[in-house]
Amino acid sequence: MKPIPVNTPLLNGNELKYLTECINTGWISSEGPFITKFEENFSRYIGRAHGIAVSNGSAALDIAIKALNIGQGDEVIMPTFTIISPAQSIVTAGAMPVLIDSDPLTWNIDVTQIEAKITPRTKAILIVHIYGLPVDMDPILALAQKYKLKIIEDAAEMHGQTYKGKMCGGFGDISIFSFYPNKHITTGEGGMLLTNNKELAERCKKLRNLCFEPEGPRFVHHEIGWNYRMTNLQAALGLAQLEQINGFIKTKRAMGTAYHKGLSILQTKHYQLPLEKTDFSENIYWVFGLVAPSIKEKERLVNVLTANKIGTRPFFWCMHEQPVFKKMGLFKNENYPVAERLARNGFYVPSGLGLSLEEIDYVTAQLTNHA
């Protein structure tokens, strides 16, 4: 068996055709027709009025925080178990992330623990849909209404997933997506902000483009922004990928089902598998994660997989245990036992769209033989 990387993207649609068009026409920068087309098509797909394409998902989070005027003295509630991007955006804006533990079954933010952490300084709840199952949104929407909080939805892993039939990325004030190559659709590097609020959309556009003023003299600035623009080349890829998204999602779900079938025996050895569904959604399996009964057991199994040239990734490392935040004096003496266990014992197996069913069988055989 050839090595099986943890992710292989699939670029078999109109990607080359649209990229060739960019080269032939000379439209390669952030000026160019594919960008607005991609923004329009993706925001329509999710069911939002406005899409603002940016250079990556982390950039989208920076813009989302600033566009909502979150800064010094403000608190933003978010899960501790996630990628660093949302916490980094909050901290660099001068605000404070307030962390919440994970639900042991969905691995998402434990919505029952949020209300106790709301203070007069709380400005927003930033939710992150983790690994393939959406956050339970109804309680979040109710809290936001009760306490007049903004909702930022990090849907970077959720293209095409729904919550009670409504698209993820369609909730709250603003949502963000990433198009990194391991996401359901990719632009190489890339991201997008979505909102129904026109003013907010205009503000995001400005922040993406160095805060150039839409009117008035050029090169005169009233505010600091970033160059977080997406290129026409990236948008060309995105457009071609978006054409194939329904098939991609079917493939991902089929892969998840195949893994489940092969790996359910691991549960007798106290391994935890992702939930296949919840009351409000079916898993979309951005990645197929496993939680081992102990760190030692995880390390042993990951070593076996590595020896057999099967790629794996550890789960996210909690925000309250990040050395960079500890150095800043944040999250002192905070503990989140569920998230800590996930971070220590969890890992995921090859889950990319380019994975074949034979490869899934091989990975499954290695896991069941050695767990």
Ligand X SMILES: *Cc1c(COP(=O)(O)O)cnc(C)c1O
What is the spatial distance between Cα 260 and Cα 282, in angstroms, rounded to a whole number?
A: 13
Tokens of 37: 């087309």
Q: Please provide residue 112's backbone torsions phi and psi, each rounded to the nearest 5 degrees.
A: -75, -15
Answer yes or no whether residue 178 interacts with ligand X by CB under 6 A.
yes
What is the spatial distance between Cα 367 and Cα 298, in angstroms, rounded to a whole number?
A: 11
CB of 88 to ligand X, least distance (A): 10
Answer yes or no whether residue 51 interacts with ligand X by CB under 6 A.
no
Q: Render the burial of 267-303: b for 16+ CB within 10 Å, e for the rest.
A: eeeebbbbbeebebbebbbbbbbbbbeeeeebeebbe
Answer yes or no whether residue 56 interacts with ligand X by CB under 6 A.
yes
Q: Please provide residue 137's backbone torsions phi and psi, each rounded to the nearest 5 degrees.
A: -75, -30
Tokens of 231: 């290129």
Q: Of the listed pieces 149-157, 200-208, 211-219, 262-270, which binds ligand X according to CB under 6 A?
A: 149-157
Q: Of the listed pieces 71-79, 82-90, 196-204, 294-302, which binds ligand X according to CB under 6 A?
A: 82-90
Tokens of 138: 């109804």
Among 7, 30, 43, 85, binds ligand X (CB under 6 A): 85
What is the spatial distance between Cα 5 and Cα 214, in angstroms, rounded to a whole number?
A: 45
CB of 169 to ligand X, least distance (A): 12
Tokens 């309250």 -> residue:
320
Please identify, using beta-carbon distances, which residue of 97 and 371 lies nearer to ligand X: 97
CB of 60 to ligand X, least distance (A): 8
Answer yes or no whether residue 128 interacts with ligand X by CB under 6 A.
yes
Among 191, 225, 289, 352, binds ligand X (CB under 6 A): 191
User: Considering CB under 6 A, how many residues would be counted as binding ligand X?
Assistant: 13
Of all residues in the shown chain, the one whose CB is closest to ligand X is 57
CB of 33 to ligand X, least distance (A): 23
Tokens of 102: 């994970």
Answer yes or no whether residue 79 interacts with ligand X by CB under 6 A.
no
Answer yes or no whether residue 108 interacts with ligand X by CB under 6 A.
no
Answer yes or no whether residue 80 interacts with ligand X by CB under 6 A.
no
Site for ligand X in 206-235 (CB under 6 A): none
User: How are the residues of the chain apportioned to helix, strand and coil, as percentages rounded to the nearest 5?
Assistant: 40, 15, 40
Contact predicate 237/38, CB 8 Å: no
CB of 131 to ligand X, least distance (A): 9
Answer yes or no whether residue 58 interacts with ligand X by CB under 6 A.
yes
Answer yes or no whether residue 241 interacts with ligand X by CB under 6 A.
no
CB-based contacts of 239, cutoff 8 Å, min separation 6:
14, 18, 34, 37, 38, 41
Among 9, 57, 97, 352, binds ligand X (CB under 6 A): 57
CB of 130 to ligand X, least distance (A): 7
Reported as half-sphere exposure (CB side, CA atoms, 13 A), residue 109 has a value of 28
Q: Of the listed pieces 16-24, 56-64, 142-150, 363-371, which binds ligand X according to CB under 6 A?
A: 56-64
Answer yes or no whether residue 180 interacts with ligand X by CB under 6 A.
yes
What is the spatial distance between Cα 182 and Cα 178, in angstroms, rounded to a whole number?
A: 9
Alpha carbon of residue 338 to chain centroid = 20
Answer yes or no whether residue 169 interacts with ligand X by CB under 6 A.
no
Answer yes or no whether residue 102 interacts with ligand X by CB under 6 A.
no
Site for ligand X in 271-310 (CB under 6 A): none
Please identify, using beta-carbon distances, which residue of 128 and 284 lies nearer to ligand X: 128
Q: Please provide residue 189's backbone torsions phi and psi, each rounded to the nearest 5 degrees.
A: -120, 145
Alpha carbon of residue 218 to chain centroid = 35
Contact predicate 129/161, CB 8 Å: yes
Answer yes or no whether residue 152 interacts with ligand X by CB under 6 A.
no
Answer yes or no whether residue 154 interacts with ligand X by CB under 6 A.
yes
Answer yes or no whether residue 157 interacts with ligand X by CB under 6 A.
yes
Contact positions vs ligand X (CB under 6 A): 56-58, 82-83, 85, 128, 154, 156-157, 178, 180, 191
